[in-house]
Each structure stands twice: as C-alpha cells, then as structure tokens.
Structure 1
C-alpha cells in the first residue's frame, strides 16, 4: 500500500472509533431529561451580563420578562460598561408592559484578574443572593427564551436532582455563512465534549453552554462561583468543571426553547467569534496547536485528498479508504444539519468547513502573539487560568 493509502486507512480507523467510541457525539437526542411538575415552585434569580447589547436586547429581554413561571422570579441585568445605552434600553423595555421585575446595575470596570463577563456575573449574583433564590439562571443578553423555558428548566432540575442544567442555545442560521459554519460549530463542540459523557452518573467530562445555565444557588456557593473561575475566558466549561469538582451533578443538552438572536451574517463575523477564544481552548500551548492542526488534517482533510489522489493515480486502496472515511464523516454530520433544519447536501462539505476552523485556530494563535488574543468588545484578556480549556474539563 502507498503512503496515501496508509494515511487514508488511518483516517478511516479514527472515524470508526469516533462513530462508535466517542459517546455517540453525533446524535442530537440529548434534550431536557423527563421531568414532572414540582409540588412547589422554587424562587429563581435571572442574571444577565450585558455589554453593548442594544442591537439584540429588544429581541431577547422581552422573552425573559414574559416568562410564564409559577414561582417567584426576578431579573438582574448587569450593564458591563456599555456605551450604546444598553442599561437604559433595558429599563425602557421593562417599563412597556407587565412581566418579571427587572433590576439594572452597572458595576464599573473589572478588577484586575477578572474577565468582563464574570465580573458582571459576580455583581449580579451578589445582588440576587440578597433575595435568597434557590436557583440562578445565568443567560446571555443575546438569548431569547420561549415563555415556558424557565419552567421547563426548573422542572428538569428538581425532578432529576441536578445542580446545573445547561442548554446549548440554537444559534441563528439565516445567512449563507451561518448555514455553512454554525451547525459545524455545535458539531465540533459535541465531538470535543460528548453530551452523553457529561450527563452520565459519575461523569469525568464537564462542560456547559454559557448562554443558558440554570444553577442551584447552594451548588454555586459550594463551588465558589464565580470567584473560583474569575480569570477564565472559556467560562462555561470552567463553571461546569468547578460545579462537578465540588460534588455537583451537571447536565448539558441541545435546546428546544432557547435561541440565540445574535447575527453573524458574514464569514468575518463568524471568524472573529470563533478565533477570539480558539487558542485559549488550547491553553495557549504551541504543541497543542500543532497537534490540533495535524489531527484536523488527518481526520477531516485526508479523506477527500486521498480519494482524489487515489482516483487520479489508480490507487484503489487509497480511493476506497478515503471515500469510505469521507462517507462516514458526512454521515455523522447529518443529525446536526437536521437539528438546524439545513440541507443535508451540506454534509459532504464538512472537510471544507473543518479547514476554515483550522485556519481560525491558527489565526487565533497569531493574534495572541501579536497581543490581540481573546479580544471581545474592546477588551483583551491574558492567558487563562488553570481551569480554562478543553483539557481542564476532564480528570486525569
């Protein structure tokens, strides 16, 4: 066999292992666990960190204000140094009709050693704890909730004894680039953090989706949230890890009632969103970056390259192995495309999409060494703390 054929065979072997041995990551059936209606509804404080969110707040905040929740619930929106009138807009939206009570606070610039979002969460959670809520709903300012979203989250947490229930919000897929790139974003996340592994008893893998996290207040205090993760750029993974490490039970799945309304219409918008934290996920480690580039190349780029080379040179083993690996790869992408209601014909384009992600990751490293890494809305963050990054989400 040629070197190309051996490479294709290696890629096929990896894909067979991913298909069967990586927690069935490609399936999209991890939704809120079966639950019953609580006998009494616990109190909930909703904490929303917001920085320059005036463009999306009219589509998201009213959905929180209109939550149909039988128990006591209150919203705390933390205006994190916005310059576009986010805080006043939130007050105006709340004043337009009846709904959950809203408090807007502005904590000022973060203290050294804090990321902006976690600094905002710190102040929001501190304010909420005065009301002694049983649960905290941490949700981003670009997340819209169906009217029964909070009720369903609380019911699931109470019925199953979970300390943390997180849902991966359905991201917007309106533009061409969103339809091409966004489903793969969730697909790659699930491949790295298989939801089944996170949700099984005694799990060693931990992750959450920061846009929607229902957290038991007692578990937050036990895990010292957010102080224990104050430097984390990948704060959702770090939060889940801290809760799990302190003895809490966590759950992560795909959302049916929670949607992101933030637009990423062009490739440049998506590129900046992904590359700002990609190198932080690799702990700013050059060796991990090199391994990621080689791994992505073998897993995603080698199969179509081997098929093309094999057909061109009449190398049947290379063409066969490359073709089957590409077929398996595309097949694992189909459920996520179905979840996002996108054309299944996008599945064979996964190698091209993976190439884009590879380039975004490399660009993230380049920007880091130019002093512009992990930049978001006018802030640039230094190296993450020890809890940051995908490797920190697992024991061992």
Structure 2
C-alpha cells in the first residue's frame, strides 16, 4: 500500500507540473486590444430537439445580440414533439431582434446523428441565404450575454483563429449540481488541457459544442459536418477535423456564455455523463479497464491511504495519502472559485470521481445492452472506425 500511495502521489505531482496547467481557470477569450475594421457577416445555427422548456431562457439572448455587423439566426427543429419550432417563432414575434429562420430537415438518414444532421441543414440554409463568413454553432440551452457574439468575432479576427470555442458556464444550483458539474469541467480540462489545445502545432484538439465560432471557409475545407456525421462526441470530433485541415483553434472558459439547462437530480446528471462516456473511450474494453484503474489510483487511493493509514497507525502511508489528497484538493480549488462554489467541496473530489467511475462503467454496460449513446429518444450504435475516432 505504501508503494501504491507513493505512485498516486507521484502521479499528482506529474499532473500538477506536466499536464498543461489543466487546473488553472484563466484561459479566457484572447484579448488583442482591437476589433476588426469591418465586421463579418455571421450565421447562428441552433440545432434543437424537444427544447420548448429552455428556449424562452436562451433564444431571446441570441436574438438580442448587440453585433455591429450583419447576423441571422437559423434554428433547426430536429423532429421535436413538444412544439419547439412554434415556441421559437412565438419568441421572435414577441421580442424581435436578429432575423430568425426556423426549419426542419426531417429524420436523419442512416449514418448520421440527429444533431449533426440538423447542423448540416442549418449550415446549408445559412450559406444559401447569407453567405456568412462565420458560423456560430450553439446549443438550444445556451444563453449568451448581449456582447457575446461581438467578443467571439473580435477574438477570431484579431487573433487570426479559424475556430473559437468557449466552455459555457453550466448551471450550478442544486446540491447534486454543486457536487458534479464543476468536476465535469475539471475532468474535461485534465483530459484536454486548454493550453495544449491552443498551442500552435499541438496535436491536442477539443472544443465545447455549446459555443463554437467557425469560419465558413474552414468548415468547407475540413468537410464538416459530413466528415464527423457519426460522432456522438461531436465537439471533439469537430476540433480534430479542423486541426487536421490546418485550421487554428482555441478553447477556453466562458464569461459571457451560460447553460440554462437544469440537472436537478443525480439521475439527470448521471445520464448526461454516461450517455457518451464509453464513446469517449472509443468503445474499447481495454481502454475502459485502464480508465477505471487510473481513476481508482489517482482519486481513490489517496483518501483511502490517508484515512486507512491513520486508523491503522501506519503514519508513512497516511502521510503519502494525505499529501496526494492535498495536491488533488488544491488543483480543484480554482474550478470551484470559477463556479462560485464553497471551497469545502474540494476535499470531496474523490467521492465525485467515484461517481464518475461508476457512470463510465454504466455507460459501457448500457452500450453492450444496446442502449448506449442515447439522447432525446434516439440510440446510436457504435460507428464504424472514422478518422475522428483517433486519439488527440
């Protein structure tokens, strides 16, 4: 146990020093101090399936964008059964703002996920009607501050970026949201350190699908969304496709973009994670086993060694475990501050990690039962090997 605890401590020292500063939360939109001389046209594409409940909290924020150039919103109703399209039209009629087009592509053909089929339809509509230089791909549960689009375009144009993505600040209101949501972003950043993603020449690629500003020419050069049509984790697949085509990408935390979707109970949060966790592991049992062992070593061994060693009077073991636990806790504090959560939640990260471990295993179990990657009434089987399935 002393050896195992020592390995866990060594792993945390390496993560602290060598994993791209994943624990830092200061990666925000590039600030160059300027704005474009001419503001490019932007088409906002919003895929939506059964989103009537959240649209009143999100769509008006898009329609009310204070953007100096021309912008238009294209909401693609992906086979909703709750009147999503009618709600969108009513919101525009009541509040006005940017031009809104509501359209529906019908059921996705074989080999396409519903969201990406909707995105493809929205991009085609935008090209036909606007010829916009930029596309803003944003989810139906994302609310944007009035200057969000302006800031995104300014960052992309002045920093010469082909894709700018922001990790929306997720809702944190209930006890379960406080326990699980900040950790979701923390684990994502640990897997895909933002600084590595944003570094020129780096192979690491990731994006946050809730807010992606993409040059239309880059989308065409990368062949998206067609080239990623089967991807369940579409944002990461999109970023890899853009990088492969030679595009420059950027990802950071948001100040002006918020998710309004509630996850009030553990069940909703569990489904959010488990629906795509095994897809993230490329449906590989060996990768799943390694992930489970890695999570146990890094997150569960430290508190077990600290508490078990103290109870048994094995003080060297307790000291190693406590040191690893302390490093872990310290790296989590910045994310809790970003989410304005009490710092006493930081030592509970091992408990949250144990929940994520179980969610990941459940994702694999559901996959082999034929229920994996399920979302909004659709279940997606494991796709054939695609270029976007390769590791970053």
TM-score by length of 2: 0.98
The reply to whether residue 76 of structure 1 matches residue 84 of structure 2 is no
Q: Distance in 2 between matches of 1:44 and 1:278?
A: 33
**Which ranges of structure 1 fall in alignment gaps of 5 or more residues?**
none
Match of residue 238 from structure 1: 237
Return the match for 2:5 from 2, 5, 8.
8
Match of residue 197 from structure 1: 196
The reply to whether residue 269 of structure 1 matches residue 264 of structure 2 is no
Q: Distance in 1 between matches of 2:259 and 2:226?
A: 27
Q: Distance in 2 between matches of 1:134 and 1:306?
A: 56
Contact 1:244 1:250 in 2 (8 A): yes
Q: Distance in 2 between matches of 1:384 and 1:63?
A: 35
Match of residue 106 from structure 1: 104
Q: Distance in 1 between matches of 2:94 and 2:383?
A: 41
State the 1:97 CA deviation: 2.4
Match of residue 185 from structure 2: 186
Once the two structures are superposed, residues 32-51 of structure 1 have per-residue CA deviations (whole angstroms, 9 ceiling, x without a partner) of 01131110000000000000
Match of residue 46 from structure 2: 48
State the 1:311 CA deviation: 1.1
Q: Distance in 2 between matches of 1:316 and 1:176?
A: 34
The structure-2 alpha-carbon separation of the partners of 1:168 and 1:388, relative to structure 1 and needing over 3 Å to count, comes to farther
* Other structure's SS at 2:390 match: helix
Q: Distance in 1 between matches of 2:309 and 2:289?
A: 27
61-70 vs 310-319, greater mean Cα deviation: 310-319
Q: Distance in 1 between matches of 2:390 and 2:48?
A: 27
The structure-2 alpha-carbon separation of the partners of 1:341 and 1:360, relative to structure 1 and needing over 3 Å to count, comes to same
TM-score by length of 1: 0.97
The reply to whether residue 337 of structure 1 matches residue 364 of structure 2 is no
Contact 1:210 1:236 in 2 (8 A): yes
The structure-2 alpha-carbon separation of the partners of 1:48 and 1:385, relative to structure 1 and needing over 3 Å to count, comes to farther
Contact 1:229 1:238 in 2 (8 A): yes
Contact 1:280 1:388 in 2 (8 A): no
Q: Distance in 2 between matches of 1:59 and 1:238?
A: 28
Contact 2:60 2:95 in 1 (8 A): no
Match of residue 21 from structure 1: 18
Match of residue 125 from structure 1: 123
* Other structure's SS at 1:96 match: helix
Map 1:140-155 onto structure 2 (within 5 A): 140-155=139-154
28-37 vs 47-56, greater mean Cα deviation: 28-37
State the 1:392 CA deviation: 2.7
Q: Distance in 2 between matches of 1:53 and 1:14?
A: 42
Match of residue 258 from structure 1: 257
Once the two structures are superposed, residues 200-236 of structure 1 have per-residue CA deviations (whole angstroms, 9 ceiling, x without a partner) of 1111100000000000000000001100000000000
Q: Distance in 2 between matches of 1:307 and 1:97?
A: 57
Once the two structures are superposed, residues 314-334 of structure 1 have per-residue CA deviations (whole angstroms, 9 ceiling, x without a partner) of 212211110000000000000
Q: Distance in 1 between matches of 2:216 and 2:289?
A: 40
Q: Distance in 1 between matches of 2:155 and 2:60?
A: 23
State the 1:308 CA deviation: 1.6
**Which ranges of structure 2 fall in alignment gaps of 5 or more residues?**
none
The reply to whether residue 315 of structure 1 matches residue 308 of structure 2 is no
Q: Distance in 2 between matches of 1:19 and 1:83?
A: 47
Contact 2:20 2:196 in 1 (8 A): yes
Match of residue 60 from structure 2: 62
* Other structure's SS at 1:33 match: coil
The structure-2 alpha-carbon separation of the partners of 1:336 and 1:385, relative to structure 1 and needing over 3 Å to count, comes to farther
The structure-2 alpha-carbon separation of the partners of 1:155 and 1:387, relative to structure 1 and needing over 3 Å to count, comes to farther
State the 1:381 CA deviation: 0.3
State the 1:132 CA deviation: 0.9
Q: Distance in 2 between matches of 1:63 and 1:97?
A: 10
Q: Distance in 1 between matches of 2:125 and 2:148?
A: 23
Once the two structures are superposed, residues 74-93 of structure 1 have per-residue CA deviations (whole angstroms, 9 ceiling, x without a partner) of 00000000000000110000
Q: Distance in 2 between matches of 1:111 and 1:218?
A: 25
* Other structure's SS at 1:167 match: strand
Match of residue 157 from structure 1: 156
Match of residue 392 from structure 1: 390
Q: Distance in 2 between matches of 1:204 and 1:367?
A: 31
